[in-house]
Structure 1
Amino acid sequence: MKHPKLHLILADDDMDDCEFFMEATDEISDDCKLTVVNDGVELMEFLSAENAELPNLIFLDLNMPRKSGMECIPEIKSTEKLAHIPIIVYSTSLDHTVVNELYQLGVLHYIQKPAEFANIKRVIEKALILLNDVNLSQRSREQFIIQP
């Protein structure tokens, strides 16, 4: 029996980061479908479309034009049909005050974007393993930040 593809969404306005992320997911698995949107408005439009193929996981940049990732999180978490979708913040900065706030908001994990491709691939692999291995309601504060 073939497992359905894992549907991932990457919401990020940096085209280079999107390209590296796409290449990494292609190398990690043939069983991943990646949808890329370039800001929070596009993300919310995609998720709220009537016939949307909802993702199994959202990778969300915080600093985007039009609507930030930080603005999307409460909207996703408060929408009944979206609240179950795990969110992993995938951002350049690592501000521990923001990280603590994200944990409180119910984000599953936080990844500071790595500079090297091998590390991008490694953190995505770790995120996918953790997604499959962990009961999402029992997030560990110690495992919140995923590092290469």
Structure 2
Amino acid sequence: MKEHKLHIALVDDDEDDRSFFEEAIEEINIATQLFLFENGQEILKFLNLNQPILPKLIFLDLNMPIINGLQCLKEIRSHNHLDIIKVAIYSTSSSSTDIESAFAEGANLYVTKPDSFKKLTEIIHNILRIDWSKSDKELTRDNFIYS
């Protein structure tokens, strides 16, 4: 029987953050395939190559060079064929301006990067278990921020 994997992507310019995220994914007992990108330009190029497999969920850092997270989110949301992809902003920023901008541009979730590996693993595990088909219908500013 073929194993179904959850395809997810992390877009983050910080090499340590990508490494910790990848290690956390390996700790979780959910079959995943992780795509790693260093900036918005890389993920947009990947998404626009008509890939046979698109990520179901993208964790997107806000502060990156070349194309930042909000610009990338806006570009993703401008393409109808990418509407099925859920986007979780994954940032060190807890600024209300950043949170409001991410919500306005169509992100599905806002996650502030945790300060420990244990918390990171727990957060990723919980997010990967979300039933997005139900959560989208009830998305409000109140449940947009992961806590």
TM > 0.5 between the two? yes
Question: What is the match of residue 38 of structure 1?
Answer: 38
Listed one character per residue, the Cα deviations across residues 102-126 of structure 1 (whole Å, up to 9, x for unaligned) are 1122211111101100011111112
User: Which consecutive residues of structure 1, in runs of 5 or more, have no partner in the other structure?
Assistant: none
1:122 aligns with 2:122: yes
Conserved? CA contact 1:126–1:146, under 8 Å: no
Q: Which moved more, 1:25-34 or 1:122-131?
A: 122-131
Aligned CA RMSD, in angstroms, stands at 1.7
- TM-score, normalised relative to structure 1: 0.91
Identity among equivalent pairs (%): 37
Cα shift at 1:3: 5.4
Question: What is the match of residue 101 of structure 1?
Answer: 101
User: Which consecutive residues of structure 2, in runs of 5 or more, have no partner in the other structure?
Assistant: none
Cα shift at 1:135: 3.5
Question: What is the match of residue 85 of structure 1?
Answer: 85
Give, in whole Å, the separation in 2 of the partners of 1:3 and 1:143.
Answer: 32
AA in 2 matched with 1:84: I
AA in 2 matched with 1:116: S
Listed one character per residue, the Cα deviations across residues 65-103 of structure 1 (whole Å, up to 9, x for unaligned) are 111011011110110111221100000111012201211
Give, in whole Å, the separation in 2 of the partners of 1:135 and 1:117.
Answer: 26
Give, in whole Å, the separation in 2 of the partners of 1:132 and 1:53.
Answer: 18
- TM-score, normalised relative to structure 2: 0.91
Say which SS state the counterpart of residue 74 (structure 1) adopts: helix
Say which SS state the counterpart of residue 36 (structure 1) adopts: strand
Listed one character per residue, the Cα deviations across residues 8-57 of structure 1 (whole Å, up to 9, x for unaligned) are 00000101100110011111134111000000110100111133521010
Cα shift at 1:145: 1.3
Q: Which moved more, 1:46-55 or 1:89-98?
A: 46-55
Cα shift at 1:130: 2.2
